[in-house]
Amino acid sequence: MIRHPHFETMSRSELEKLQLERLKKTVAYVYERVPFYRSGMQKLGVNPEDIRTLSDVARLPFTSKLDFRDNYPFGLACVPQDEIVRVHSSSGTTGKPVIAPYTQKDVEVWAELVARSLVCAGMTREDILQNAYGYGLFTGGLGLHYGAERLGATVVPASTGNTKRQLMLIQDLGTTAISCTPSYALILHETAQEMGIDLHQSKLRLGILGAEPWSENMRIDIEDKLGITALSIYGLTEIVGPGVSMECPHKTGLHIWEDNFLVEIIDPATGQVLPYGEQGELIITTIDKEAQPVLRFRTKDITSLNIETCECGRTMARMARIAGRSDDMIRVRGVSVFPSQIESVLLTVEGVEAQYMIVVDRQNAFASDELEVWVEVSEDIFSDEMTQMVALQGKLQRELDSVLGIKARIKLVEPRKLARTEGKAKRVVDRSELPQL
């Protein structure tokens, strides 16, 4: 099923025409209303009338997370406060959070985009969605909630945490779909096992998972453990929240809703726009927002674009799964790796669990000579048999070296010892923040 066939199957030329029209409107709108964008454009000598073709978007200035902080809280908003009906926010690790205001029309468009995403994943109004993203300032909870309601599915607003109750609800209500982070999906499985519950026996069939990078091997692991199809939903607070893009059951990339978002891939080092197919940083310009449109947002998410029509019939560009965030990239003796690549290798080795932590020395801007990977071993491997553990350690070291070309020290950890998070998993930690095991 396709929710908005008119948009989702548009020809490239029709789509580009629509995008250009919307881009011009957005640029004129923010130039008029937001001093930050006006002065940014003036510095580059660009006027709204200079945007004549879609590629002229590259003449516009970038916007970064820092610009949101500098203009905190409402300096990037285009409408007076009485037109704002809701505000979301993302905490970030340092400084002021990002504020995302929405008008009535914005929340409606957003709900439609999430409904479109859920249909793309194969959901219908017959489904019961248990929404285990956090409700509150985080966009995941309310974003999925209103989208699923818009679709007409039954929503169970479980929010994060209380895993035993989540499992009870899955069983008692006949939940068919779950929305949560991939790492929380694994916690559900782990707790189910502890309680003697087999999720394969439940009605759960679909996972709408996102909010953090996850590898293909993680998908396989989750699908196998929970007995579901696990699909990725992508989005970010600055742009709208979840519902920027979504995988369909063909699992060949995330469909980007390009009637709302104009996307580019740039070389993160030079800012140069790269052609389709090449990997780089995703840049998003919103072209149908009222409260706080954003020009050329630097997501820091590393991916590539593909504009071939998908087998599902949708024509909009697909983005490859996020390889990682440019600020999470680790350099070990000159080799660059993303946590998800390490995850992927760990999960190919029998006897380890999908629970791991990468230890770095941040003083050195993530570049270190030595990389340390802490990984949990499975119950049956964890034994007093030193030889077996030593063999496993050696195997993991060799795999990381042969696949990624990195030398890592491996620390095998007792099952269930590493900290679990109910929201986004923290995979990379600084040595100074190491937990005591």
Interface with ligand DLL, residue 210, by CB under 6 A: yes
Name the residue among 423, 416, 348, 406 with its Cα closest to residue 378.
416
Smaller CB separation from ligand DLL, 31 or 146: 146
Which region holds residue 299: left if phi is over 0, alpha if psi is between -120 and 50, else beta? alpha
**Closest distance to ligand DLL from the beta carbon of 325 (Å):** 5
**Closest distance to ligand DLL from the beta carbon of 71 (Å):** 17
Smaller CB separation from ligand DLL, 238 or 376: 238
**Closest distance to ligand DLL from the beta carbon of 220 (Å):** 16
With CB under 6 A as the contact rule, the residue among 8, 112, 190, 212 that binds ligand DLL is 212
Beta bridge partners of 111: none
**Closest distance to ligand DLL from the beta carbon of 329 (Å):** 12
Contact (CB, 8 A) for 297 and 238: yes
Interface with ligand DLL, residue 102, by CB under 6 A: no
Q: Compute CA 2 distance to the chain's CA centroid, rounded to the nearest angstrom.
A: 22
Phi, psi of 324 (to 5 degrees): 165, 180
How many CA atoms lie within 13 Å of 370's alpha carbon, on the beta-carbon side?
A: 5
Q: Is residue 119 classed as helix, strand or coil in its secondary structure?
A: helix
With CB under 6 A as the contact rule, the residue among 7, 234, 257, 338 that binds ligand DLL is 234
Interface with ligand DLL, residue 303, by CB under 6 A: no
Q: Strand 371-377 and strand 352-360: pairing?
A: antiparallel
Binding letters toward ligand DLL, positions 343-382, x by CB under 6 A: ----------------------------------------
In the bound state, the residue with its beta carbon closest to ligand DLL is 210
Contact (CB, 8 A) for 230 and 183: no
The secondary structure of the chain in percent helix, strand, coil, rounded to multiples of 5, reads: 35, 25, 40
Binding to ligand DLL in span 322-341, by CB under 6 A = 322, 325
With CB under 6 A as the contact rule, the residue among 207, 235, 280, 293 that binds ligand DLL is 235
Q: Strand 318-319 and strand 254-256: pairing?
A: antiparallel
Smaller CB separation from ligand DLL, 101 or 235: 235
Interface with ligand DLL, residue 207, by CB under 6 A: no
**Closest distance to ligand DLL from the beta carbon of 253 (Å):** 11
Q: CB under 6 A: which stretch of 19-27, 61-69, 165-173, 237-245 binds ligand DLL?
A: 237-245
Contact (CB, 8 A) for 61 and 67: no
Distance CA 133, CA 348 (A): 28
Beta bridge partners of 318: 255, 306
Binding letters toward ligand DLL, positions 122-151, x by CB under 6 A: -----------x-----xx-----------
Phi, psi of 189 (to 5 degrees): -65, -45
Q: Strand 335-337 and strand 330-332: pairing?
A: antiparallel
The contact set with ligand DLL (CB under 6 A) reads 90, 133, 139-140, 210-213, 232-237, 241-242, 299, 301, 322, 325
